[in-house]
Amino acid sequence: MPKLVTAPLLALVTAAIVAFCPLVAAESSDAPIIEPAPRTINLTQEQRFIIKEILLKDVHVAKARADAPETIGEAVPPSIELHAMPSLLAEKVPQGRSHSWFVKEGDNVIVLVSPNDHRVADVIR
């Protein structure tokens, strides 16, 4: 037969929970929660692989400097040279057809840029 929790033990556990809860609530309300910007293009893993294969192996363009933006939603400065999607890639990944792109120097990160607002739409590593 299971042992029953005694009243003093139950009171102690309840007091500890009640005392701890305001601390957790105070900590979480101090810092605002900033959600990352949503991607403006939805790609499958296969499509991401196709983009990476074609752009890194078949297309040779000058790379953007290593400190170029790569955070989704971040504005891309006019100093970054953007490239149109190659026709072969636009056929294989139609939703990327209107997006521009650049490759960052050093780590070969592909950054897709939204045509509407010139912001980072997605990043392919």
> What's the CA angle centered on 68, arms 95 and 94, to 5 degrees?
10
Residue 13 lies in a domain: no
Q: What is the CATH number of the domain that holds 86?
A: 3.10.450.160
**The pLDDT of residue 46 is above 70:** yes
Residue 27 lies in a domain: no
**What's the number of CA atoms in the CB half-sphere (13 Å) around residue 39?**
13
pLDDT digits (tens, 9 = 90+) for 2-37: 555 565 554 554 554 545 444 444 445 566 666 556
CA–CA separation, 122 vs 52, rounded Å? 12
Residue 25 lies in a domain: no
Buried b (16+ CB within 10 A) or exposed e, 6-30: eeeeeeeeeeeeeeeeeeeeeeeee
pLDDT digits (tens, 9 = 90+) for 54-107: 999 988 899 999 999 999 999 999 999 999 999 999 999 999 999 999 999 988
Residue 33 lies in a domain: no
- Segments forming the whole domain that contains residue 105: 45-124
Residue 93 lies in a domain: yes
Number of domains in the chain: 1
Residue 41 has what pLDDT?
Answer: 87
Structure tokens at 31: 């810092």
Question: pTM of whole model > 0.85?
Answer: no
Residue 25 has what pLDDT?
Answer: 46
